[in-house]
Amino acid sequence: MSFVIGIDVSTTATKAVIIDRQGDIVGIGSASYGYDTPAEGWTEQDPHLWWDAAVAAVGQVLTDNDVAPSDVEAVGLTGQMHGSVLLDDRGEVVRPAILWNDQRTEAECDDIRRRVGGERLIEITGNDALTGFTAPKLLWVRRNEPEKWARVSHVLLPKDYLRYRLTDELAIDVAGGSGTILFDLGARTWSPEILDALELDPSLLPATFEGPEVTGTISKAAAEATGLGHGTPVVAGGGDQSANAVGVGAVSPGVVALSLGTSGVVFATTDTPQIDPEGRVHAFCHAVPGRWHMMGVMLSAGGSLRWLRDALAPDASFEELVGAAAEIPAGSDDLLFLPYLTGERTPHPDPRARGAFVGLTVRHDLRHLTRSVLEGVAFGLRDGLDLMIEAGLPAPTQIRASGGGIRSPLWRQILADVLDAEIAIVQTEEGAAYGAGLLAAVGAEWFGSVEDACAATVTAETSADPSELRTIYTEAHARYRTLYPALAPTFHSGRD
Q: Give catalytic residue positions.
A: 240
Cα–Cα distance measured from residue 47 to residue 205, given in angstroms and rounded to the nearest whole number: 18
C-beta atoms surrounding 76 within 10 Å: 36
Angle at 187 between CA 182 and CA 190, to 5 degrees: 25
- The Cα 151–Cα 148 span in angstroms is 5
Q: 265 φ, ψ to 5°? A: -140, 135
On whether the CB atoms of residues 332 and 371 are closer than 8 A, the answer is yes
Half-sphere exposure of 220 (CA within 13 A, CB side): 0
Number of other residues whose CB lies within 10 A of the CB of residue 295:
24
Distance CA(101)–CA(185), nearest Å, equals 22
Amino acid in position 183: F
